[in-house]
Every structure is written in C-alpha cells, then in structure tokens.
Structure 1
Amino acid sequence: MPWEWIDRRVSPTPVLVEEARDGSEPLLATDKRRFRPAGSPAGTCPQQPVESMCCDPYERVCFFSHIIPGFCFLAGMILIMSRVIHESKTLAAFLACAACTHLISAITHVWPDSIRLEKVDHVGIVALVIGTPITALLATKNGQVPESSVVVGGIMFLAAFLPRAPRVIGFAAGVAVSVFLHPQMLTWLLALEMSLYVLGAIAFLRNSGQSRWPGFADHHFLHYLVTIACVLHVVYIRRQMEASGHHIAPVPGSI
C-alpha cells in the first residue's frame, strides 16, 4: 500500500501515513512537506526531486555543509594552478582531492536515494583518504612518493567497494600503515587531523541522532569534522613546505 513519511518538523519520529483506497488525499491532518526518513540507506525510499536539498531539513544541512567548502577548495586549487596565488603544487593537489570529496558528497545528497551516486560518493572519499597521506609525504619528502604509499593507496581504493564497517576499517588501516611506514611526516597537527577523522568515522558508523535539531545529527557532525580536518591539512602542508624551504615553487612545473 502506498505510504509516505510525515515531516520531521511536525514529529521527530517517522509516522507511516496510508493513502485512502479511493485515491483521495492521504489520511494526514497537515499540509507540511513530507521527506524521506533521515539517515536511511540509499534505495529505501522513492527517488526525491532536486528541490529536496532546499526543503528537507536533514538533507539540506548535508548538502550545504559540503557544497560551500567544496567550492572554496576548488577555487583555491584553480587560483594556485593559474598562479594568482603563489603556493606549492602539493597544496593544489590536496585542494583538488578535498574539492572532489566535498562536491561529490554534496551531489549525492541532492539525490540521497540513488544507490549509484552513493557508490560514487564512496569512491570520492578515496580521493581525500589517499590524498591526505600522499600530500603529507610530498610536503615532507620534497616531492617524492615512495612505492609503498602507492600500494597502500591502491588497497584503500579497493576498500571503497566494501560494506560500511569494513570500508571504514580499510580506510583507517591504510592511513595508519602510511604513518607507520613514514613516521617523519607525523606531527601534532597531522595527529589532530587523524583524530578528527576517527571521530567522523565513529559518527558515520553510529548514524544516529536524526531526532535532534537540524544540523546536529551524527552524519552532519561527520561533514563538519571532515571539513575541519581538511583545513588543518592545508595548514600542515604550508608548514611542512616552509620548514623544507619549498613553500613557493620557484621553478615552473616543480612540486
């Protein structure tokens, strides 16, 4: 029997509402908008229209919390590559990874019930998961990336196609192995980044708090923590490049 979910602004608990058998209006004493249940897996509800990103209180926060910083990261990368801002190509590479992850995530929340987009989002996360340790090595080793890091990056890419818990464990293990193999890149700032990512992973796995005020669900905190960690990594790269004397690449095409 057809059903839809009552707006969470009316009731924090989803309520099934049946349509009348004669095809009349749903048996619901409200004219409020109705949305998919917050935090539900992709594919559990009918496809939602694009305008849901501006109306659904849960998806709206998910969308704007990543689309805005995503465009900021993208703009920074473009400014560096066009030499408007004199920063290293290493920083530009990380900004590209951060923009990729954020923008794909935002697009996914426009169509939150698309299973295909959800898989694309998982691959987009790999850009940040791999980009963080790789750019840390580039900043620390003056543009050199060991072969071991390439192998670890390939394994983390494959982890993107695993179920939720193994996927998170695979990402975390890949970063941990990278730090173990190259301890010289570990600083208090990178350790703080990793702590934020761990907290974000916990929020992702819990995926609760949908009855809280909009913007305070676990998935929303995941978005915030990822963005803050990205900003910290920008600071990390600049500090490492300055310490090695390669903050601004003097030769065109150098890293």
Structure 2
Amino acid sequence: LFKVMTIEESSGPLLGTGGTFTEQASHTGMKFRPAGAPAGAWHHTPWYICTFYDPYERINVWSHGLPTLSFVILGALAKAGVVPGGFALSLFCFCAAMTHGSSALTHVWPDDHVLEKIDHLCIPFLIIGVPATAVMALRPTGPYHVMIAMAVVATAAAFLRPLHRTLAFVASGAVLLGYYFWIVDWNIVAQVVLQVAGAVFFVRNGGHSRPMGLQDHHLLHYCVTAACILHVVYITRAAQSLDNVKLG
C-alpha cells in the first residue's frame, strides 16, 4: 500500500520542507519511515513499530539485537571459565555487546538523536576492543598506551559528519593494526575486509530496491557481526596456544 501524503498532514518532521513524498506501508493504516532515512526524518513511534512491524527497521533491530544477547551470554561464560578465552574474550564480548546493543536500540527508535549519538560513541568499543583483546590474548603484558590515544581520537570522531566520521574510524583502526602489526594474521585480515565493506555499505546507504534483508544497511550489520564472530575465534585460539606454551 502506497499513500501520498503532504507535509501538513504529517504528525512529525519529514525529509523536506514542503511538497509531497511517498510513504510505504505493508499493513493497513500503518505508515513506516522511508528506508535509510536519517534520524529526525520521521515522527517518533512506539518501540514495537520498528521492532516488529516496519519491514526495514525490524531487520536492523534483530540482526544486532540477537547478537547482543549472544555476546552477553558468551562473555559471562568466558568470565566464569566455562569456555576458553578468559578475560580477553569476556572483555571483547562486552565491547561487541555495547556496539551491537546500541545499534539495535537506535533502530528501535531511529529518529532519536540522542540514541543515534550513543550508537556512534559505542563504535570505538570495537575499534579499540579488537586490537586490545588480541594483544591480551597473545601478550597479556601489552603495551597498551597507543590504544588510549586512539580511543580519544575515535571518540572525538563520533561527533564528525557521517563520511568524515567513517573515515576517521577506519583510520584509527588502521593506525592500531599498523602499530600492533604482530597481531595480524588471516583472521584479522578477514575482519578488516568485513569492517571496511561495512563502512562502504554505511556511507553508500542504498540498495533499497533489493529484497528486504539485502539492502546496504542490513549488509553493514551482517559484516560487523561476522567480523566479531571471527574475533571470538581469534581470541579462543590465541588463548589455547598461550595455555599450551605454559604447559610446555
């Protein structure tokens, strides 16, 4: 069902300042925000609209909401010693849960500017968390000082415009991997490829003519989660190798 609606008929701020636009709705009487629209492009909606009904946003909610729960559980198991990885894995799971959780929450209320900024501020948890936990798993004594400086840079980058913010995030990660080059293996390379691909999908923010679940922002979510899963494997193997060295 497509309905053309004027600005004056809307109950909230829209994309333009006058004229008309097309709303897409798959349920009678229910209108959804345009796919990929920026925060503030639509009026605020109850939590259940984007979580269960909006065909575009509900994929964003659940594709990062379910991994959030998974990382929380895995982190607790690692902390308790039930699974290998120890503190490094539990810390990484915390970082991954922060990034995924803030993302999922932002898509529950996609027109909330405060939640959007919190989402941006949680991205550095992964930018710093990946190399930090890799170092912890391979060489627990560090060094870690460069990560503190890059954490400040990445946090400041969260307040830049989308393209500049994305480039600054990528640059921060590149600096850390360059400095801690000895943590890089095929797994880290695969993670970098996935994260950079995700950055491209975020900036491009297109593909809205594709089947639902295959649009650019959805692909971004999948890339981030897949990279995090790879890092769980990385930490687990590194921890097991370190244990074998100690036993030997």
Q: Same fold (TM over 0.5)?
A: yes
| CA shift for structure 1 position 31 | 2.7
Residue in 1 that maps onto 2:28: 31
Residue in 2 that maps onto 1:48: 45
1:153 is matched with which residue: 151, 154, 171? 151
CA contact (8 A) 1:80 1:92 kept: yes
Which runs of no fewer than 5 residues in structure 2 stay unpaired?
Answer: 1-7, 12-20
Distance in 2 (alpha carbons) for counterparts of 1:83 and 1:109: 33
CA contact (8 A) 1:39 1:219 kept: yes
**Structure 1 pair 32/215, CA: closer, same or farther in 2 (3 Å)?**
farther
| CA shift for structure 1 position 72 | 0.3
**Structure 1 pair 187/143, CA: closer, same or farther in 2 (3 Å)?**
same
Q: Which amino acid aligns with 1:49?
A: P
**Structure 1 pair 247/237, CA: closer, same or farther in 2 (3 Å)?**
farther
| CA shift for structure 1 position 82 | 3.0
Residue in 2 that maps onto 1:25: none
CA contact (8 A) 1:62 1:106 kept: yes
Aligned residue runs from structure 1 range 170-185, under 5 A: 170-185=168-183
Question: Which protein shows a greater Rg?
Answer: 1
Comparing 157-166 with 216-225, greater Cα deviation is found at: 157-166
Which runs of no fewer than 5 residues in structure 1 stay unpaired?
Answer: 5-13, 18-27, 249-255
**Structure 1 pair 95/41, CA: closer, same or farther in 2 (3 Å)?**
same
How many residues are aligned here? 229
Residue in 2 that maps onto 1:162: 160
- TM-score (norm: length of structure 1): 0.84
Q: Which amino acid aligns with 1:60?
A: R
Aligned CA RMSD, in angstroms, stands at 2.3
Q: Which has the higher strand share?
A: 2
Q: Which has the higher helix share?
A: 2
CA contact (8 A) 2:85 2:240 kept: no
Aligned residue runs from structure 1 range 1-255, under 5 A: 1-3=8-10, 15=22, 31-52=28-49, 53-245=51-243
> Percent of aligned pairs with the same residue?
38
